[in-house]
Amino acid sequence: MKIIRQVDEMQACALTLRAEGKRIAFVPTMGYLHEGHLSLVRAAHKHGEVVILSIFVNPTQFGIGEDFAGYPRDLSRDSALAAEAGVDLLFAPEAPDMYPCGYATTVHVEGITETLCGASRPGHFDGVTTVVSKLFGIVQPHAALFGMKDFQQLAVVRRMTADLNLPVEIIGMPIVREADGLALSSRNKYLTPHLRQQALCLQDAIRIATDAALQGEKDAAAIIAMVQQRIEQEGDARIDYIQICNPITLQEIPRIDADAVLLLAVFFNSTRLIDNHPILTPFN
């Protein structure tokens, strides 16, 4: 596996690969890799002859008071995991190279960035779409793989890619969970054992919601109330949002339909976790 740190070198390498007729599959990450990221790498081998993984903790998607400075970073660890998973090229740029002096361009997607995480993290998705569009220009992928745990992010990237006519196939991959059901996240490392146990209420809440919907409850507000009641049983849990939405527009829906998705964001002390699940699919 080759590690590339410079933007110009990565772009030149990618353009050479494309000129040689190689199909590039890309997995963008912020590092501190876990099994969720590695599952994307394994899937990427089915979508390209060359797999490129990026590690870049993007400063523009963190707001004031968020965990940018403390976000876990360990390039040596990540490099070993990436190589073992079969990554061909690891791109790990520095912020001054990605955002040089005088940088003045932002990519903004309207509408679907203004709800859910976008409502509680103003400017977050401008940072996401800007860095993803830059990475697409640098890495030149034919396909890019994203985990569905960040459901809104995937929807926003799909919208941006379609709106800007970017020749990249966006592939969403299922959530990878730990044995007890907690969705894998780099932020799980912030949880104390006590908070880690409390965080399992997210899985209980999803199961309560899907069971109710599958048993015929169609009122979204009634299901949200059940979810809220379960989460509020945990002393250190603070709800950011509970919404049942259309998976494409991300607009809240009052009645459950076949496509409805339950989306959650909950703080456990200062650690914010997100999760989601199609509400008419059993949660196992």
Last residue of a domain, one of 173, 198, 220: 173
Contact call for residues 181 and 146 (beta carbons, < 8 A): no
Last residue of a domain, one of 143, 173, 203: 173
Beta bridge partners of 261: 245, 278
CB-based burial, 123-132: b 16+ in 10 Å, e otherwise: bbbbbbbbbb
Residue 178 is assigned to a structural domain of this protein = no
Contact call for residues 30 and 68 (beta carbons, < 8 A): no
**123 and 240 both lie in a single domain:** no
State how far the Cα of 223 lies from the Cα of 243, in Å rounded to an integer. 10
Residue 205 is assigned to a structural domain of this protein = yes
Residues in contact with 56: Cβ distance below 8 Å, sequence separation at least 6, in sequence order: 28, 30, 31, 91, 92, 93, 95, 98, 131, 135
Stated length of the chain: 284
**100 and 206 both lie in a single domain:** no
**83 and 162 both lie in a single domain:** yes
**160 and 199 both lie in a single domain:** no
**151 and 22 both lie in a single domain:** yes
**217 and 97 both lie in a single domain:** no
Contact call for residues 109 and 163 (beta carbons, < 8 A): yes
Domain harbouring 199, CATH code: 3.30.1300.10
Residue 78 is assigned to a structural domain of this protein = yes
The answer to whether 34 is a known catalytic residue is no
Q: What is the pLDDT of residue 208?
A: 98
Q: What's the number of domains the chain is made of?
A: 2
Q: What is the pLDDT of residue 284?
A: 81
66 residue type, one letter: E
* Pairing status of strand 50-55 against strand 169-173: unpaired
**263 and 136 both lie in a single domain:** no
The one catalytic residue among 34, 37, 45, 124 = 37
Q: What is the pLDDT of residue 134?
A: 98
**191 and 154 both lie in a single domain:** no
**30 and 134 both lie in a single domain:** yes
Q: What is the pLDDT of residue 261?
A: 98
Q: What is the pLDDT of residue 100?
A: 96
**200 and 149 both lie in a single domain:** no
Residue 179 is assigned to a structural domain of this protein = no
Range of the domain at 245: 186-278
Residue 88 is assigned to a structural domain of this protein = yes
Residues in contact with 148: Cβ distance below 8 Å, sequence separation at least 6, in sequence order: 154, 172, 173, 174, 175, 276
Q: What is the pLDDT of residue 110?
A: 96
Q: What is the pLDDT of residue 65?
A: 87
Report the Cα–Cα distance between both ends of the chain, in Å, rounded: 37
**159 and 194 both lie in a single domain:** no
Per-residue tens of pLDDT for the chain, all 284 residues: 999 999 999 999 999 999 999 999 999 999 999 999 999 999 999 999 999 999 999 999 999 889 999 999 999 999 999 999 999 999 999 999 999 999 999 999 999 999 999 999 999 999 999 999 999 999 999 999 999 999 999 999 999 999 999 999 999 999 999 999 999 999 999 999 999 999 999 999 999 999 999 999 999 999 999 999 999 999 999 999 999 999 999 999 999 999 999 999 999 999 999 999 999 999 98
Residue 283 is assigned to a structural domain of this protein = no
Residue 263 is assigned to a structural domain of this protein = yes
Residue 284 is assigned to a structural domain of this protein = no
Domain harbouring 9, CATH code: 3.40.50.620
**39 and 166 both lie in a single domain:** yes
Last residue of a domain, one of 152, 173, 194: 173
Q: What is the pLDDT of residue 263?
A: 98
